[in-house]
Amino acid sequence: MGQMTKLALFSIFLLLWIQLSSAQTIYTITIQDTGNALWVIEKQQPLLNQLEIDEWEEFIKSGIDPELKQQDLGEFRSSIEAMLLAASEYSRRNMSADNFNVSYDTVKSFSGSFGVIKYSFTWKNFARTDSGNIFIGDAFSEGMVLTKDNVIAMEIPGGYDVQSASPQFDRREGGRIIWDGAFYHSFARGEPSVVLVRSGEMTSIAVIVVILAVISSVYLYFWKKRRSMQQPPGSPENAVPVSQETVPLPQADELKYDETIIKMLREKGGEAFQSDIVQEMGLSKSKVSIVLAEMKEKGTIIKVRKGKENLIRLAGDKN
């Protein structure tokens, strides 16, 4: 009887949320695409010597006192239901919990042996779903500080990926994102906040962006090509516009440059400054100089120096 009493007292000590600083708590939240979540709260208490290990394992082997287990489970359920009530008020969404359970185990590692208690339950409507995306965070109605011995691990459902997380998680292990209290985390209300999107969605958006960019590039290429074909050869994009006082010049493919200049000079009484010809034809200075040089060589025009400018006259006109 004394041994059983000792075991009972030892188990009660562990089951009352183990307030010792050496106890580690791991919260694993497995998200479902429906918005429900399976919660597993695992508490690991170091077993400091062989006596504690033997007593704990004997306690597990001999069977858990059903009455003690139901009492512990009832207290756990009450605390969770109180948390859900606050979460429902904060998020303005109806929430509930079921499938409460508690189990006991022993874990042995290089760092020592641990007595493990696992509480689990299903949190219905834990996350908000919208247009195929999952929004996590509004169920956390109170801020909290994650101590160095605590860890929050969130399992992402298959076919989803993380679009954003606040605060940013410390590491990722496959489909699990982890906030480790060893790095110190202070969570505000509504945190940790995570947005999950379907895995192919972001890829599809990227493909659409690339296709639109290609279409835009092709359109720009043909637009520039068509514009260049509509301009006279050698015409710069920022050519000086033709004066509104003169008749619009024919396109280069309709009339040769020398014929255009001859017509222009006749309209101006047989002569005009070279700068005026450049302006009205909309060609570069070098292009006009080349055309005028060819016309002078043919004897069509003559050049007369007037100050700093060239005066162009039709051959045969008075100097």
Task: Please name the residue that has the structure tokens 């459902």.
Answer: 157
Q: Contact at 8 Å (CB) between 38 and 120?
A: yes
Find, among 222, 144, 219, the residue nearest to 187 by Cα: 144
Mean per-residue pLDDT, 146-170:
92
The single-letter DSSP state of residue 183 is: G
In this model, does residue 4 exceed pLDDT 60?
no
What is the band of 206 on the pLDDT scale with cuts at 50, 70, 90?
A: low
Mean per-residue pLDDT, 189-204:
81
In this model, does residue 202 exceed pLDDT 80?
no
Q: Which residue has the higher pLDDT, 207 or 32?
A: 32
The share of the chain scoring above pLDDT 70, in percent, equals: 76
Q: What Rg do the C-alpha atoms of the chain give, in angstroms?
A: 43
Structure token pair of residue 285: 């200075």
Query: Is residue 86 classed exposed, middle or buried when 0-12, 13-18 and 19+ CB atoms within 10 A define those classes?
Result: middle
What is the per-residue burial (b if ≥16 Cβ within 10 Å, else e) of 64-76? bbeeebeebbeeb
Most confident of 5-19, 50-64, 83-97, 206-220: 83-97
Furthest CA-CA distance within the chain: 139
Q: Which residue has the higher pLDDT, 134 or 239?
A: 134
pLDDT at res. 7: 43
Structure token pair of residue 180: 């480790």
Find, among 47, 43, 55, 52, the residue nearest to 16 by Cα: 43
pLDDT in tens, 57-115: 887 777 667 777 788 888 889 999 999 999 999 999 999 999 999 888 888 888 788 88
pLDDT at res. 230: 55
In this model, does residue 210 exceed pLDDT 80?
no
Query: What is the distance of C-alpha 150 from the center of its chain?
Result: 29
pLDDT at res. 204: 52
In this model, does residue 243 exceed pLDDT 80?
no
Beta bridge partners of 38: 30, 122
pLDDT at res. 314: 87
Residues 6+ apart with CB under 8 A from 48: 112
What is the band of 208 on the pLDDT scale with cuts at 50, 70, 90?
A: low
In this model, does residue 158 exceed pLDDT 50?
yes
Q: Contact at 8 Å (CB) between 131 and 81?
A: no
In this model, does residue 252 exceed pLDDT 60?
no
The CA-CA-CA angle for residues 107, 153, 76, to 5°, reads 70
Residues 152, 146: Cα–Cα separation, whole Å: 8
Q: Contact at 8 Å (CB) between 239 and 252?
A: no
Q: Which residue has the higher pLDDT, 142 or 218?
A: 142
What is the band of 231 on the pLDDT scale with cuts at 50, 70, 90?
A: low
pLDDT at res. 233: 52
The share of the chain scoring above pLDDT 90, in percent, equals: 31
CATH code for residues 257-314 = 1.10.10.10
Structure token pair of residue 11: 């188990």
The CA-CA-CA angle for residues 216, 222, 227, to 5°, reads 120
pLDDT in tens, 105-143: 888 888 788 888 889 999 999 999 998 899 999 999 888
What is the sign, positive or negative, of the torsion defined by CA atoms of 191, 197, 203, 208? negative
Residues 6+ apart with CB under 8 A from 228: none
SS3 81: helix
Residues 177, 195: Cα–Cα separation, whole Å: 12
> Domain limits of the chain?
2-201, 257-314
pLDDT in tens, 269-315: 888 988 888 888 888 888 888 888 888 888 888 888 887 788 898 88
Preceding peptide of 167 cis, ω within 30°: yes
The CA-CA-CA angle for residues 93, 99, 100, to 5°, reads 100
Which helix H or strand E contains 302, and what residues bound it? Answer: strand 301-306
pLDDT at res. 168: 93
Residues in the chain: 319
Structure token pair of residue 110: 């290089």
Strand order in the sheet with 193-198: 128-130, 133-136, 193-198, 160-166
